[in-house]
Chains A and B, each alone.
Chain A
Amino acid sequence: MSNEGTTAGKFQMTPFNMVAGVIVILGVIVTILRFTGGLGAVTNLTDYNPWGIWIGFDLLVGVALSAGGFVTSAAVYIFGLKKYHSAVRPAILTAFLGYALVVLALHYDVGRPWRLPYPFIVQQGTSSVLFEVGACVALYLTVLFIEWSPTAMEWLGLKKIRGIVIKLTLLLTIFGVILSTLHQSSLGALFLIAPSKLHPLWYSKYIPIYFFVSAVIAGLSMVIFESTLSHRYFHDKMDETHLAESRGVTLGFGKAAAYTLAGYFLLKVIGVAADNDWHYLATGYGAWFLVELLGFIALPCFVYAVGVREKNTTLIRWAAAWTVLGIILNRFNISLIAFNYHLPASERYFPHWMEVVISVFIVTLGLVLFRFIATRMPIFYEAAGYDDAH
């Protein structure tokens, strides 16, 4: 993802630009097929499997990995950990793009996307968990847009209105934390309705708590992971403050991630005990559950802890990448692999290649938008004349 490919708006044939270009062309073609031929033309979704990777990956993983926005802004503006201030803008941008792309992906997944506003204007369905998720995501996307907007205003030179938005920072942060707590957990609560479909090792009455705690872990890990990539590709865009605070951010967030992972691991074990599911551990699904529990929760927890003790940021960065993979695996397990586990193989879901194309297309859009914004707007540095605290 060379930075040179975007200089002064001139398009250059870098490897990233070429690969992204091919993916975007393929994505546009499949998008046309999706919206002209319907879901059946491009997906393997059925009545048994109405949620595929557009929900399992684009939505569940997208929302979890976008948690860095509320985690970082809460740390800085609510808990007063100002030493992590330089991490706020990249985290808010990642979260804003993440949620925006989640909503975009939802347009592909629902049968009649033009009815997405219906829950708010036609019927409220207030007893539905899905309504709460929809309401929170819509509101939080708005909050993230307002939180991100000072960056664009500084770029556009809108000093006066930017000053007004900056004054709302604490209010927006509190609102963001409340909305995130609600919908991150409610995404897990959606599965409470399906005790007979989700394998007992993943089904638990604690699943909303698991989703929320794992989202905090995902947020912390994504901040470190995104920082690692940004240091590689946008190093020249970073000011001295950002570069100086980077090591502290990695160590601090690594410590928080290690401790939260330890708590998450113990909560998962308590969940198995609460439903007396120990005997399932000796089955094939049990082995897969242990791979997730030991390989993608306990192992990164240990690697994070050693990295924090040894002050080894390289180790922490590897742990962050591994944890992000673990969160993806967890959401895949719950929504796809351990879901409908009792169905015969012929009825199980496997994504159509065009579903994968759309998911890759949406991730690529996120990367292209992140690069467009990060190379033009003050994400990794304080804009001249705007060096007041925000």
Chain B
Amino acid sequence: MDIYTLQDFFTFTKGVIYILVIITLIGLAGFWRFLTERDED
């Protein structure tokens, strides 16, 4: 994406961050499961 203005910059970077945050939330939930699924209650 070509960035010419500050608005272009924030539109692009915020868009990428939103995608990363969704990946983060799903990833951390999955990672917690990976960490704890063999725990004894």
Contact surface of A with B, Cβ cutoff 8 Å: 255, 258-259, 262-263, 266, 269-270, 273-276, 305, 308-309, 311
Contact = CB atoms under 8 A, between A and B. Distances in A.
Contacts of A263: 24, 28
Closest 7 A/B residue pairs (Cβ): A266-B24, A273-B16, A262-B31, A276-B13, A270-B20, A273-B17, A309-B38
Interface size class of B (residues with CB under 8 A): 10 to 19
B35 A258 contact: yes
A108 to B, nearest CB: 41
A273 B35 contact: no
Given A266-B28, A269-B20, A308 B13 contact: no
A273 B9 contact: no
B9 A276 contact: yes
Residues of B contacting A: mostly = helix
Given A259-B31, A266-B23, 12 more contacts: A259-B28, A259-B35, A262-B27, A262-B31, A263-B24, A263-B28, A266-B24, A273-B20, A274-B17, A275-B13, A308-B35, A309-B35
Nearest to B32: A259
A262 B35 CA distance: 11
Nearest to B16: A273
B5 to A, nearest CB: 13
Interface in B3-35: 3, 9, 12-13, 16-17, 20-21, 23-24, 27-28, 31-32, 34-35
Nearest to A256: B35
Interface of B: 3, 9, 12-13, 16-17, 20-21, 23-24, 27-28, 31-32, 34-38
Contacts of A308: 35
Contacts of B32: 259
Nearest to B31: A262
A305 B17 contact: no
Nearest to B27: A266
B28 A262 contact: yes
Contacts of A269: 20
A255 B35 contact: yes
B2 to A, nearest CB: 12
Nearest to B3: A276
B20 to A, nearest CB: 5
Contacts of B38: 309, 311
